[in-house]
Amino acid sequence: MNIQSLTLNNGIQMPELGYGVFRVEEGPELAKAVKAAIQMGYRSIDTASIYGNEKSVGDGIRQAIEEGLVSREELFVTSKVWNDGLSFDETVAAYEESLVKMGLDYLDLYLIHWPGKDKYQESWKALEALYKESRVKAIGVSNFQVHHLQSLLKDAEVKPVINQIEFHPKLTQKEVREYCLEQNIQVEAWSPLMNGDLLKNETIQGIAKAHNKSAAQVVLRWDLQHGVITIPKSMNETRMRENISLYDFTLTGEQMDQLDALNENTRSGPDPDEFDFKM
């Protein structure tokens, strides 16, 4: 399976479809799933320090490389710094800790996980330093609203390549996406299937039936046709294969509009302006 890639604003290529591991426990089953994903054709793997599973993700990557399934250069690996330490030094230390846990020499993309209230400016300076030292291929943010991005860009020397946000038909985030498009910041979707809650929606099921596809495939195809990178999560190999099989059908303009019309501004995760980071 050849997944198409998009060019980020610093010129590097990122697969438009990746494998997410949010809420997957550390352990050999995750390492096995990551290796299986790579074997199926996934090349982008997304994790975060707060997920507590970077070691298993790294184990799966290393096993795939050792077995000759892929080279490190063919993979696009993302992790994120958590909000318990967003000073310059803490951010650099967090990046180094992620590398150690994953057993990697570099990450392809490193993100500030949440904006929080007022610390992301200093953390961004740390990410810029890592980028300028060529220790990471690209840097970006996650869960940033328009006002967060505007504040960041006032002093930023390096523009974020990515804003990873909750995005699905119930939460289309049009304002954020339009601003990112204006600024040439790529949008990436987390929770694209709204933790599975969308899969029983009658409109989505009707469109899926028309294409002889699953509800999940319809939603993920909707992501791609909106130009949004998507990272579905599954530990089930049948669904993993299903989630990657999105290139043999296209949603019509009317179907895209029908899915857009499902928007209720409903979040399955926290509101970036209200999230309490005390863990």
Give the active site residues. 51
Task: With beta carbons less than 8 A apart as the criterion, state whether 257 and 198 touch.
Answer: no
Task: With beta carbons less than 8 A apart as the criterion, state whether 248 and 274 touch.
Answer: no
Q: Which residue has the tokens 């006002």?
A: 147
**Beta bridge mates, 81:** 112
DSSP string, 119-169: THHHHHHHHHHHHHTTSBS-EEEES--HHHHHHHHHH-SS--SEEEEE-BT
What's the CA gap between 35 and 239, in Å, rounded?
A: 15
Task: With beta carbons less than 8 A apart as the criterion, state whether 189 and 165 touch.
Answer: yes
Establish how many alpha carbons lie within 13 A of residue 252's alpha carbon, considering only the half-sphere containing its beta carbon.
7
Token pair of 142 as six digits: 């996650």
